[in-house]
Amino acid sequence: MLHAHLPYVRSKGTGSLEEDWFFQALMECYLPLLQSIEKAASSKNQQPKITIGLSPTLLALLEDIDLKEQFPEWLTIRLELLKSVSKSEEEAAEHLSKTIKKQLAYWEQINGDVIKRFAVLQAIEVIDVITCAATHGYLPLLRENPESINGQLKTAVREHIRLFNVQPLGIWLPECAYYEGLDLLMVKAGLRYAVLDGHGLLHASPRPRYGLYAPICTKNGVAFFGRDSDSTLPVWSAKDGYPGDPVYREFHRDLGWDIPQEQLNTIGIQDSRPLGLKLYKVTSQRVPLDKKETYEPKLALKKIKQHAKDFLKSRKTQLEELDSKMTIKPLLVAPFDAELFGHWWFEGPVFLEELFRQAKSEEIKFTRLVDVLSRKPKLQLCAPCPSSWGKGGYHDYWLNETNSWVVPEWNKASKALIDKSTKKLSNEIDLRILKQAARELLLAQSSDWSFILRAGTTTTLAKERINLHLKRFWRLINALDGQEKISPMFLQTLEEEDSLFPLIDPNDWLPF
């Protein structure tokens, strides 16, 4: 199960850091993943099945016409930069150039319509596309105003229906975060299943008879699956898993740190940053970045095949042991952030390809979560435990001394939007203002900025984003109150800059 998500990082000008996040994810993750899954689906001897969550903000970026037009040039610039590498880097640079050219050719082949390719894979039942909260809002921290959670969920569902012409039944809860009663709001939005970290099920009441190896169901009719750490650790851990192997590509050594600033200036980059151009291998966890050895693609490919075989053999052993103790067929759920495959772990998409190719010989069967539930199994009635994934496992990464200040700001703004949603608006302009205020509130609620504040990386950017959307929100609300005048041009500018969710409906914030 993969969760594909980026915050809404569209910006007016080209060359921004946020824009780089999106383009790098396209080049390294989303396009290679699509190609790997499509390749497996085209084989008569393979039965690839996978659940993929596509967040509404990521879908908005994938749909954006300006970003689609800029992406080929962004790739071309990187191809040019690879021509100026040192002699020792030539083999790795040639391999990366071929990889980028492959993505460029694929992009042109599909006319930049990534969403359509996902939709086709769903139509032939290879993948099940599920949704997420509208802007990846951390739902337990919004619970003071359930209407705000309703806005996150219903906006997401409406957007999914607009783009895929089908009601999503599953959701990737942001950060897999759950609290008591959230399932009722999920049902109101038409959502019937989700995945939680393992302790969300293991500490459920009553304790599930089959632990993590079968879904449970709440009294409100929502099924929950639990993450199996034995299936995920080898894939995501750089320390204890496959990605840290010496022959795989090193993530942190990037040409963006090696190229002179003068050369970066010629391509419009004013400060050193990762460019998505990595030519070195892990070598050893103890070797500093400047001592890494150059990447050897053939060695990495050989190792991928070995690791895929090892992973499947381990899962087979695990399933056989579980099968001997259970009266139903055991299920292993392995959820990951999609960007692990290709971005963080360069070889990840090919590893996935190898899993599908080798699965039959190891007697491993892949399935989608929706297929498990469509068989109408008898599920144990349980109340999941409030939980999240990530460090600490119980919300503390998103509520601590670095980011707790934003929670009362969300609550205050949510109350104002709920109040305004009950008013009968007199004209079309006021309705546009209210809709844009809803967009700005949703964007301010993105959990990505809270995560960055806690991680201590680009904290200035995170604060600026939160404050920007809150400032815009209050200007719009004050305009509805008559306390401030905003020009039609200002409103149009906001609608163009934060142009996601064209079908947003303020009625989603009406009091229950």
The CATH number given to whatever domain includes residue 450 is 1.20.1430.10
- φ/ψ of 345, rounded to 5, equals -115, 100
Of 323, 351, 381, the last residue of a domain is 381
Q: Are residues 421 and 348 in the same domain?
A: no
Q: Would 129 be classed as within a structural domain?
A: yes
Whether 411 and 307 map to the same domain: the answer is no
User: Does residue 386 belong to any structural domain of this protein?
Assistant: no
Mean pLDDT computed over 14-36:
91
pTM of the entire structure? 0.96
The amino acid occupying position 92 is A
448 is in which domain, residue-wise?
A: 400-509
pLDDT band for 265, please (50, 70, 90 cuts).
confident
Q: Do 325 and 408 reside in the same domain of the chain?
A: no
Place of tokens 């998505």: 276
Q: Pick from 381, 413, 447: which residue ends a domain?
A: 381
Whether residue 392 is contained in a domain is answered as no
Taking the CA atoms of residue 170, residue 173, residue 179 and residue 185 in that order, the dihedral angle to the nearest 10 degrees is -50
Q: Which long-range contacts (CB under 8 A, 24 or more apart) does 237-242 make?
A: 238/285, 239/285, 242/307, 242/311, 242/345, 242/351
Task: Identify whether residues 411 and 281 lie together within a single domain.
Answer: no
Q: What is the pLDDT of residue 219?
A: 97
Do 428 and 354 lie in one domain? The reply is no
Position 387 in a domain: no
Per-residue pLDDT tens over the stretch 3-21: 999 999 886 566 777 888 9
Same domain, 304 and 423: no
User: Measured between alpha carbons, how far is 19 from 12 in angstroms, rounded to an integer?
Assistant: 10
Beta carbons within 8 Å of 185's beta carbon, 6+ residues apart: 146, 149, 150, 153
Angle between helices 428-444 and 488-497 (to 10 degrees): 40
Query: Can you name the residues that pair with 131 across neighbouring β-strands?
Result: 171
Same domain? For 374 and 488 the reply is: no
pLDDT digits (tens, 9 = 90+) for 287-296: 999 999 999 9
Higher pLDDT, 390 or 308: 308
Residue 389 covered by a domain: no
Q: By the 8 A CB rule, do 470 and 411 touch? A: no
The reply to whether 115 falls in a domain is yes
Total domains present in the chain = 2
Q: How many CA atoms lie within 13 A of 281 on its CB side?
A: 19
User: Does the residue 391 lie in any domain?
Assistant: no
410 and 361, same domain (yes or no): no
130 forms bridges with which residues in the sheet?
Answer: 53
CB 51 within 8 A of CB 2: yes
Same domain, 250 and 130: yes
127 and 178 in a single domain? The answer is yes
Q: pLDDT for 107-130, tens place per residue?
A: 999 999 999 999 999 999 999 999
State pLDDT tens for residues 81-95: 999 888 999 999 999
For residue 93, is it within any domain? yes
Picking from 353, 381, 409, the residue at the C-terminal end of a domain is 381
CATH of the domain at 251: 3.20.110.10
3-state SS assignment for residue 340: helix
**Distant-in-sequence, close-in-space partners of 277: CB < 8 Å, separation ≥ 6:** 78, 81, 82, 96, 254, 255, 256
- Domain match, 298 and 428 both: no
pLDDT, mean of residues 41-67: 95
Residues 413 and 475 in one domain: yes
